[in-house]
Structure 1
Amino acid sequence: MIFYLLSIVVGFVILVWSADKFVEGAASTAKHLGMPSLLIGILIVGFGTSAPEMVVSAIAAMEGNPGLALGNAIGSNIVNVALILGITALVTPIVVNSKIIKKEIPLLLVIVLITGYLLLDNSLTFFEGVILLAGFFSLIIWSIYTALKSRGDTFGTEMDAELIENELSLKAGIIWLIVGIVLLIASSRLLVWGAVGVAQEFGVSDLIIGLTIVALGTSLPELAASVVAARKGEHDIAIGNVVGSNMFNLLAVIGIATVISPMNNIPIEVLQRDWIIMFLLTIILLVMAYSFKNKEGVITRVEGLILVACYIAYNTYLGINLASGL
């Protein structure tokens, strides 16, 4: 048992560090190759912060644990909105200025609804995995078009300042890009091995482990990125990390895992409990981030506290159900 727990801890530490280096290397390389800052922020940073979920879920699916892969994707989305944006807003209220981010949040809601529809029969087929991946590539194309069309957006301005501050040489960027990918894969294998081992030792499903421990661990890059960005006043980066990561999780993470290992007999709780929580949190995010009459597009400290309370309540509910089932 001690080896499983140790592998989870070591896996998380290396995973978070390697994900950060991967994003740093990829962003610097892209900048040297002439990619616009806005496009780097939308694609590379969004993709990079979702890299842990993608690699962990792919390895979990290849090793015959699709429940862990699905739990990781949905659980990470819950962590991203409830815990990460909640903590970030408690540190400093998040002002949403970017028009691109305000377009992405309704799009995220549509993707959440599509995912829910695919889960109605409690299964995800190979063809449905292909549909999700097709949606992911369509999102990439839309993001490129939007970024090239909206060069004056505040999200791009913030990203440009961030890239100048952390820019590496082209050689260093390529080296860290490669090192980051290698360590991401190695640490993900270690993490999956430990998580599955813990699940077997305690007699719980890999779905629950994915929704809780693994989801929290793989979301740590988003937490660090969002809090640091918000403290620097880069609010659109803070919320953009979360929104982009959530879209990538549903389309790419679940899509890749499903293509590798189609999922049958998915527990009904995934749709009736976990998906509903994810859906409600996305609605809450939409309401908080948009400017309505007498309401600016700001996620306040009070709203941040509400989000964190939602995360605590959800995990408490999972814990109570788990304890009653043991």
Structure 2
Amino acid sequence: MIKDFGLVAAGIVLLYAGGEVMVQSATRLALLLGISPLVIGLTLVAFGTSAPELAATLAASFKGVGDVAFGNVIGSNIANIGLVLGLVALVSPLKTTFRFITQEMPFMLFVSSLLFLLGRDGYLGRLDGSIFLFLLVLFLFFLFKRDKTLSNLADNQKKEPLSKIILYTAGVFVSIGLLSLGANVLVEGAVNIARHLGVPERVIGLTMVAVGTSLPELVSTLVAAYRRAGDIILGNIIGSNIMNILAILGLTPIIKPFSFSKEGVTVDLSIMIFFSLMAWAMLAHQKRVGRLKGTILLGCYIFYVFYLYQ
């Protein structure tokens, strides 16, 4: 048992290190190439901080523990809004734009609802994964086209030294290695603990593994909050939730289709959508999430975890 807790701790440390390297490398690479802060948050930083969830979900799928694989994504999305957004709002109130409220937030709710429809049967196959990946390509295409990111990219590539681009690209690949190793160690330890204590693997995936793989989001957003980079914060949180569904649950079932227990799935997905709706309503009200709203989000998340373990 002590060994298993050690594995979980080691996995979280490796995930944290990999997430930090990923965020730093991806952010600097994006800035070097002239990508806007909101697009950085919604794409590179969001995918970078979602990489632990991808690695953990793939590892759980190959180990045959579908409840951990699916629960990790759902739990991470809930943690991103309840825990991460709640804590960050307590540190520094967040402001947003009308466009973000009317475009990115509704899209996150759309893909969450789609997952609810496709995941109720307790199985995600290659067709489901293909649908998610197709939507991911559309999302990125319209995002880049709207912000003219591709034209900015072409212009800045001519001005910046190739050595810096190679350096930050290498940092991304190093971080992927750390994240993959950390995810395997974390999943192994978490599943062993679940079996020793008789805790359902679904609950372990929704809480221990989900929070562990959400640490990069938490750390990166807290750092961004300290620097008052609101666009990166909201882009990272909402972008990570979109990436968790479209990228992770797109790639994983294509590589290795997996099944999971139907018990509790409807409830868990409903709670995920509830947190998403609550965040949307809070942002729509005065286009701001202050400390009171952050306290409400964090309180709801603590109550949710308490409910799971009861």
Do the two structures share a fold, i.e. TM-score over 0.5? yes
User: Is 1:289 paired with 2:288?
Assistant: no
Distance in 2 between residues matched to 1:99 and 1:265, nearest whole Å:
37
Q: Which of 279, 282, 302 pairs up with 1:312?
A: 302
* Change over 3 Å in CA distance of 1:141–1:265 after alignment to 2: same
Distance in 2 between residues matched to 1:11 and 1:101, nearest whole Å:
35
Q: Partner letter of residue 56 of structure 1?
A: A
Contact 1:82 1:310 in 2 (8 A): yes
Please tell me the root mean square deviation across aligned C-alpha atoms, in Å. Answer: 2.2
Contact 2:64 2:258 in 1 (8 A): no
Partner residue in 2 for 1:16: 16
Partner residue in 1 for 2:116: 116
User: Is 1:82 paired with 2:82?
Assistant: yes
* Change over 3 Å in CA distance of 1:82–1:170 after alignment to 2: same
* 3-state SS of paired residue (1:142): helix
* Change over 3 Å in CA distance of 1:264–1:89 after alignment to 2: same
Identity of aligned residues (%): 34
* 3-state SS of paired residue (2:64): coil
Q: Partner letter of residue 185 of structure 2?
A: L
Shift of 1:174: 3.4
Q: Which of 183, 189, 197 pairs up with 1:194?
A: 189
Q: Partner letter of residue 37 of structure 1?
A: S
Contact 1:83 1:307 in 2 (8 A): yes
Partner residue in 1 for 2:69: 69
Q: Give the TM-score taking structure 1 as reference length.
A: 0.85
Q: Partner letter of residue 113 of structure 1?
A: S
* Counterpart mapping for 1:125-140 below 5 A: 125-140=125-140
Distance in 2 between residues matched to 1:73 and 1:142, nearest whole Å:
24
Partner residue in 1 for 2:6: 6
Contact 1:60 1:68 in 2 (8 A): yes
Partner residue in 1 for 2:269: 275
Distance in 1 between residues matched to 2:121 and 2:59, nearest whole Å:
25
Query: Between Structure 1 and Structure 2, how many residues are aligned?
Result: 299
Q: In the TM superposition, what whole-angstrom CA distance separates every residue of 1:76-124 from its partner, at most 9, and x where no partner exists? A: 0000001111111111211113734641001101111111111233332
* Counterpart mapping for 1:182-261 below 5 A: 182-261=177-256
Distance in 1 between residues matched to 2:98 and 2:49, nearest whole Å:
19
Q: In the TM superposition, what whole-angstrom CA distance separates every residue of 1:30-80 from its partner, at most 9, and x where no partner exists? A: 444x35234433321111011110111111112212211100100000000
Partner residue in 1 for 2:157: none
State which drifts further: 61-70 or 255-264.
Answer: 255-264
Shift of 1:213: 0.2
Which structure 2 residue ranges, 5 or more long, are not aligned?
153-162
Q: Partner letter of residue 176 of structure 1?
A: G
Distance in 1 between residues matched to 2:192 and 2:29, nearest whole Å:
38
User: Is 1:263 paired with 2:275?
Assistant: no
User: Is 1:301 paired with 2:265?
Assistant: no
State which drifts further: 5-14 or 177-186.
Answer: 177-186
Q: In the TM superposition, what whole-angstrom CA distance separates every residue of 1:124-153 from its partner, at most 9, and x where no partner exists? A: 23311221222222222222222317999x
* 3-state SS of paired residue (1:192): helix
Partner residue in 2 for 1:324: none
State which drifts further: 1-10 or 118-127.
Answer: 118-127
Which structure 1 residue ranges, 5 or more long, are not aligned?
153-167, 321-326
Distance in 2 between residues matched to 1:151 and 1:42, nearest whole Å:
18
Q: Give the TM-score taking structure 2 as reference length.
A: 0.89
Q: Partner letter of residue 178 of structure 1?
A: F
* Change over 3 Å in CA distance of 1:188–1:67 after alignment to 2: same
